[in-house]
Amino acid sequence: MSAQDFLVELGTEELPPKALNTLADAFLAGIEKGLHAAGLNFETKHVYAAPRRLAVLITALETQQPDRSINLDGPPRQAAFDADGNPTQAALGFAKKCGVDLSEIDQSGPKLRYSQSIKGKPTASLLPTIVEDSLNDLPIPKRMRWAARKEEFVRPTQWLVMLLGDQVIDCTILAQKAGRDSRGHRFHHPQSVRITAPANYLADLRAAYVLADANERRELISKRTEELATLQEGTAIVPANLLDEVTALVEWPVPLVCSFEERFLEVPQEALITTMQDNQKYFCLLDAEGKLLPRFITVANIESKDPQQIVAGNEKVVRPRLTDAEFFFKQDKKQPLESFNERLRNVVFQEKLGSVYDKAERVSKLAAYIAPRIGGDAQRAARAGILSKCDLSTEMVGEFPEMQGVAGYYYALNDGEPQDVALALNEQYMPRGAGAELPTTLTGAAVAIADKLDTLVGIFGIGMLPTGSKDPYALRRAALGVLRILIDKQLDLDLNDAVAFAVNAFGSKVKAAGLADAVLEFIFDRLRARYEDEGVDVATYLSVRALKPGSALDFDQRVQAVQAFRKLPEAAALAAVNKRVSNLLGKAEGNIAATVEAKYFDNANEFSLYSAIQQADQAVQPMAAARQYSETLARLAALREPVDAFFEAVMVNAEDAKVRANRYALLARLRGLFLGVADISLLG
């Protein structure tokens, strides 16, 4: 069967840059789906995207759809005809489904059967529908119309190229009649560009100053930006999402170095970087110490004969932005940071929970409670807590919301606050996402935990629990943040006490009954997903959860120990024994002696197990006290042999009540040793 390359390019007005990659990938996926559905084979697929075009190239596409047959089984003969041989509704319904008369249905077999041979169509006749369906299915939240047309797309369309080999596909899609003429760069080559062949698509457009391959543009921008940064003795900040956006804004990228006045460097560099990246799409430059240089890189969409004009234009545009940041910074510094709290008395945190200032007061008290328990300073944590929300009412954060926390850090330093207090104002929001940076100071950790627990307790306390995908107060993220700080930074905090403190701080604003338990349940539930992501079996998590440790760090240490224990050869047998013992003790209903008394032993295996338990107990007590849980379980694994021997030789439910109660007490001692770490009966 013959094959030809296929090219489709839809030309438009400038496409939304942040959505360009998504649109391109969906366009390719839709066409590929259509080709597979039609039974058309091909060799390779490529997608190209630039500001004014989406294109897909399919190589070695079959030019003829293969013939195919349809075989459909219907109802059994006895269900298809009644006793008089008349067709039933089942038979008639099957014929209707097949789109034929019942007489055309094969009735010779045990079931009705319809077979049809469908002749394949020329690929050229199928492509318009495949392309149109793919375009209709693009993830476009809001489509637009243009001129007096009824067609809708993300942007007005301008041209359409559709080639199968050298043949132009005769069709009209989104108001554009297909041809072989594309368009070049808007300024360098505004006239049409003839696509000589699908395989020549990139080369034909490159000659017209268009790099249609987004990957090629991205690499060029990245490489040239790095080279220019090196020439400036700096390093460029190139966030992946910004690089993608800039790549989607230009057809012929030309990176250029620009500069701004050094006086702006007195402004927090985060504010300057934010405005240059978000508003102007510039790549900022840092020196070897990570300080902002008074230079940046812009990516022009034209190869100018006088690039200095482009440089001067960008420098002129950025100056008002930086001036605004400078003005806000100077205005805010005219008064102490703490004074901004007065404005927050009138800013509602949550209608039923009071103002943002009320929250800051609660966070301050809770942070002071937490700090000494994790090795920090209560006074500094309290100070950081009361200042924690001040910068929300500053001019800087009002203009640059991304500066919350960062602005507070600079203003606190300006006021002479201790370094860790200043850092805590930014670290309170950490971690800002999965895998994001954690607080570096104990003061910051205390405030971050306090802020998150306050939100959790408050929102739970007014009954606004997250449901499904709805979590307006980001409670899941808050809970995960608390757990990450405590576990990853090895901070031992009893969350039972901390949450109880937080509940009391709200007073009558929340329904306190059962609130602490609900919040703790929610927090520790988040650990389940964390461990699943790490490859920890859910049974391991549940074995520790059964003991309800209050410390997240302690919880994690137990989980890691159980996970290591499960790899031991004795683990499965001991888990099964613990399950058996748990069931036996559950049925004992108080018939368990207070202590184990050797005088009731009548079997050598009882003596052996009792001796082994006593030795193990003595050995693991200091280990458990030091939270050496892995070592504890490894030592307890040695009990397998005496335990197995006991159950083989001893009848636990002896007729003599005292003997039976004594054996229950012995098993309770055995189970108690393991429960010092986890309920391993849940591992079986």
User: pLDDT of 151-199, one tens digit each?
Assistant: 899 999 999 999 999 999 999 999 999 999 999 999 999 999 999 999 9
Residue 577: which pLDDT band, with cuts at 50, 70 and 90?
confident
CATH code of the domain made up of 340-535: 1.10.3210
Measured between alpha carbons, how far is 569 from 638 in angstroms, rounded to an integer?
11
Asked if 237 and 290 touch (Cβ cutoff 8 Å), the reply is no
Cis link prior to 16 (omega < 30° from 0)? no
What pLDDT score does 684 carry? Answer: 66
Average of per-residue pLDDT across 85-109: 85
> Burial, 93: exposed, middle or buried (Cβ in 10 Å; 0-12, 13-18, 19+)?
middle
Q: Which of 51, 50, 23 lies closest to 137, judged by CA?
A: 23
> Burial, 69: exposed, middle or buried (Cβ in 10 Å; 0-12, 13-18, 19+)?
exposed
Mean residue pLDDT across the chain: 92
Domain ranges of the chain: 3-65+122-206, 68-118, 214-332, 340-535, 563-683
User: pLDDT of 628-654, one tens digit each?
Assistant: 999 999 999 888 889 888 888 888 888
Highest-pLDDT range among 140-154, 366-380, 579-593: 366-380
Residue-by-residue DSSP string for 572-622: HHHHHHHHHHHHHHHHHTT---SS--GGG--SHHHHHHHHHHHHHHHHHHH
Measured between alpha carbons, how far is 620 from 233 in angstroms, rounded to an integer?
59
What pLDDT score does 86 carry? Answer: 86
Asked if 301 and 250 touch (Cβ cutoff 8 Å), the reply is yes
Residue reference for tokens 């800002």: 432
Measured between alpha carbons, how far is 575 from 674 in angstroms, rounded to an integer?
10
CATH code of the domain made up of 563-683: 1.10.730
Residue 110: which pLDDT band, with cuts at 50, 70 and 90?
confident
Residue reference for tokens 């929102």: 459
Radius of gyration of the chain, Cα coordinates, nearest whole angstrom: 36
Residue 590: which pLDDT band, with cuts at 50, 70 and 90?
low
Highest-pLDDT range among 117-131, 481-495, 560-574: 481-495
Position 460 pLDDT exceeds 90: yes
What is the signed CA dihedral for 459, 464, 467, 473, rounded to 10 degrees? Answer: -40
Residues β-bridged to residue 8: 56, 162
Helix (H) or strand (E) holding 196: none
Asked if 208 and 229 touch (Cβ cutoff 8 Å), the reply is no
Out of 1.10.3720.10, 3.40.640.10, 3.30.70.260, 3.40.190.10, the CATH code matching 3-65+122-206 is: 3.30.70.260
What pLDDT score does 1 carry? Answer: 64
- Beta-carbon count within 10 A of 148 CB: 5
Position 233 pLDDT exceeds 70: yes
Residue-by-residue DSSP string for 45-75: EEEEEETTEEEEEEEEEESBPPPEEEEEEEE
User: pLDDT of 9-54, one tens digit each?
Assistant: 999 999 999 999 999 999 999 999 999 999 999 999 999 999 999 9
Average of per-residue pLDDT across 413-434: 95
Strand order in the sheet with 53-62: 45-50, 53-62, 3-12, 157-164, 167-168
Would you give the DSSP letter of residue 283? E
Measured between alpha carbons, how far is 67 from 121 in angstroms, rounded to an integer?
8
Q: Which of 168, 164, 171 lies closest to 199, judged by CA?
A: 164
Position 600 pLDDT exceeds 70: yes
What pLDDT score does 589 carry? Answer: 65
Average of per-residue pLDDT across 86-101: 86
Residue-by-residue DSSP string for 385-411: HHHTTGGGGSHHHHH-GGGTTHHHHHH
What pLDDT score does 101 carry? Answer: 86
